Amino acid sequence: MRIEGKEYRTIWFENNVVKIIDQTKLPHQFIIKELRTVDDAINAIKIMEVRGAPLIGGTAAYGLTLAVQENNDPEFIKKSAKELIQSRPTAINLKWAVDRMIKKLAGINSKQILSIALNEAKEICDEDEKFCENIGINGLKIIEKIYNKKKDTVNILTHCNAGWLATINWGTATSPIYHAHKKGIPVHVWVDETRPRNQGANLTSYELNEEEVPNTIIADNTGGILMQRGEVDMCIVGTDRTLSNGDVCNKIGTYLKALAAYDNNVPFYVALPSSTIDWEIKDSKEIPIEERNSEELSHVEGVDQNNQVKKVLIYPYKSKAMNLAFDVTPAKYVTGLITEKGTCEASTQGLKDLFK
Amino acid sequence: MRIEGKEYRTIWFENNVVKIIDQTKLPHQFIIKELRTVDDAINAIKIMEVRGAPLIGGTAAYGLTLAVQENNDPEFIKKSAKELIQSRPTAINLKWAVDRMIKKLAGINSKQILSIALNEAKEICDEDEKFCENIGINGLKIIEKIYNKKKDTVNILTHCNAGWLATINWGTATSPIYHAHKKGIPVHVWVDETRPRNQGANLTSYELNEEEVPNTIIADNTGGILMQRGEVDMCIVGTDRTLSNGDVCNKIGTYLKALAAYDNNVPFYVALPSSTIDWEIKDSKEIPIEERNSEELSHVEGVDQNNQVKKVLIYPYKSKAMNLAFDVTPAKYVTGLITEKGTCEASTQGLKDLFK
């Protein structure tokens, strides 16, 4: 991942602190923030300084490492693990990463515990990076196929940010796009703005600009008519939790794009590392759907004409608003799941064949 | 229509000027603006100080009256008519109203022409008001039926603003809601924010607040999951142009909500006065879809903490954006058309039975 021409990762450990890119400040300010305690990590997840299922997992792993560094009493570590898991309800990677850390640290004595925690957190992150790279290699095949048939720019629609800012590197949905771009296949990305937090505009378009991939921001309302007009060749999105039956929980509004893709015979792919699969929940109705503060809707931040960051109220002052953060796309509307192991059908059988 | 407890219409003629409510200033400021020339009227339509298909028609009729008042030379009137029709491409009422005025004024001598133009413009507006009232009476029957079955608050989702601010009074989509509210049927409205111009939040929620109808603003992305959860009993939207086959052209994003409604067996109604029907175009691909300035996406206006209206750039400064204003919902996704003459199927036969 390149920002202003320099290579980064979204999270790293340096001089006893965890460093992150504060994503609430993007795209107007690029700020590297230090997390010194597990509470800093919990807060960063809660207020979405870090977001995206894989990066939330990585931050939780490093967060638990910070807990160990603060106080390696098993009770404190256990309490910290619980608080980390509760910091956001929908992304499954959070629980997955914390459980993996706890398992690794079980029965380790106090001398070694910090270095083991640190290694495991780094391994979780390295693994995610490798998985995202493989997702890119697997997804590239789909883009190549479309390009070989069309012999013209491949138009890809994406929703929210499942880019490198949502992972450790490469991204999930963007990884095939970056791989195609590096290979010289002409791609153009329709970036859904993704209200209310505008992660599409603020983060995905920002990323694509930095990587010099042509992209155009559109209102979330626009994807339908573009598909009707034949101006979208494929959709790729990420996911916060995919059930073993292929149902996909992702950023609110994903379901509407999947419906439009289905109605217009546009292939709709979901890119995910296997850490995002929930093998336990059988019914998507059981997925906890986070409801966030309605101020995320009613207030918007931007830069004014003096280049100052300003927050403004955009709604009538008497109005109330409701802010659900995720929805579920039934498996039948998903053309395929692009994973680190290959691409499969969004179904129980498809996932079983690939992972069991 | 009540604003701050006082009765209004959206457009009226007084002391040789046309008065409008400047809708680009709502909800933060309530400003009545005077249009003195036909160019003022053209500009008001272009920059959306007035918007909504029926109100655009009414403004065009009064605009032509201003042209007659300025200079009753037939060439000037003809040129003004042409410019008015070109001020916005998608709403069919614009052409309908101007054609009706021109037909009425044909061959009228200079002495009478102003008073005849004025009468005709007023009649177009009075007729629209009456039509909207009848739409309300017809749509009320549908809401009543749901209420009688559910015996609890009827949750209605609407997109954009097809309220009294889009018409002369009552609104189209909102008229059944206002009629139900006045009759004591408990209704609650899910108001789609409606990016990029946020007419749902800025205008529909504002209107509903003023009329004391319970309402909640949601991101345009949210309707799908609400329907999956059974939290929407029906959808009602307006339209800028309905084809004789029942295809509905309306604010961008309408199509996505219709798809979600269809997928979840939620009835999806379109409310319209017959002036919005295009009897000529047979294929929705021929409807001119307006592309507006991308600044409507990249810049947002609101009030800051000092209660000052501020405009801010919300996108990365390197990003480009694309702003299509309308989409088309195929007739098969529309449960019914609520018109001033009654409710019919969205089909050639349905419309023929009602209007021929």
- Please state whether B128 falls in left (phi above 0), alpha (psi between -120 and 50) or beta: alpha
- Check pLDDT > 90 for residue B90: no
pLDDT tens-digit map of B284-326: 999 999 999 999 999 999 999 999 999 999 999 999 999 999 9
Measured from the Cβ of residue B16, the count of other Cβ atoms closer than 10 Å reads 10
Choose among A162, A165, A176, A178: nearest CA to A237: A162
Give residue B356's pLDDT: 80
This complex has an ipTM of 0.94
Q: Which residues of B touch A253 (CB under 8 A)?
A: 219-222, 224
Amino acid letter, B217: I
Closest alpha carbon to A258 in B325, B221, B328, B219: B221
Residues 6+ apart with CB under 8 A from B210: B1, B2, B3, B4
Element (H, E) at A313: strand A309-313
The DSSP code sequence of A276-297 is GEESS--SGGGSPPPEE-THHH
CB A255 to CB B252 under 8 A? no
Backbone angles phi, psi at A112, to 5 degrees: -90, -20
Each residue's pLDDT tens digit, B46-67: 999 999 999 999 999 999 999 9
Pair of tokens at residue A132: 């995202």
Structural tokens at position A86: 């509760």
- Identify whether B240 is a catalytic site residue: yes
In sequence order, what DSSP letters do the residues of B145-186 get, joined into one string? HHHHHH-SPEEEEE-S--SGGGSSSS-STHHHHHHHHHTT--
Per mean pLDDT, which range of B105-109, B166-170, B334-338 is the poorest?
B105-109
User: A316 and B194 in contact by Cβ < 8 A?
Assistant: no
Quickly state the pLDDT bin for A355 (edges 50, 70, 90): very high
Number of inter-chain CB pairs under 8 A, A vs B: 212
Q: What is the pLDDT of residues A18-50, one digit of tens each?
A: 999 999 999 999 999 999 999 999 999 999 999
Contacts of B215 in chain A (CB under 8 A): 319-320
B160: region left, alpha or beta (phi > 0 left; psi from -120 to 50 alpha): left
* Inter-chain CB proximity B221 and A256 less than 8 Å: yes
Delineate the domains of chain B, giving CATH numbers in brackets.
2-127 (1.20.120.420), 150-354 (3.40.50.10470)
pTM attached to this predicted model: 0.95
pLDDT digits (tens, 9 = 90+) for A172-207: 999 999 999 999 999 999 999 999 999 999 999 999
CA angle A134, A135, A140 (to 5 degrees): 100
Q: Residue A101 is encoded by which pair of tokens?
A: 């850390």
Query: Which residue among A27, A318, A328 sits closest to B228, beta carbon to beta carbon?
Result: A328
Least trusted range by pLDDT, from A37-41, B72-76, B176-180:
B72-76
Token pair 């001089």 is at which residue?
A15
The CA angle A9-A15-A19, to the nearest 5 degrees, is 35
A312/B303 CB distance under 8 A: yes
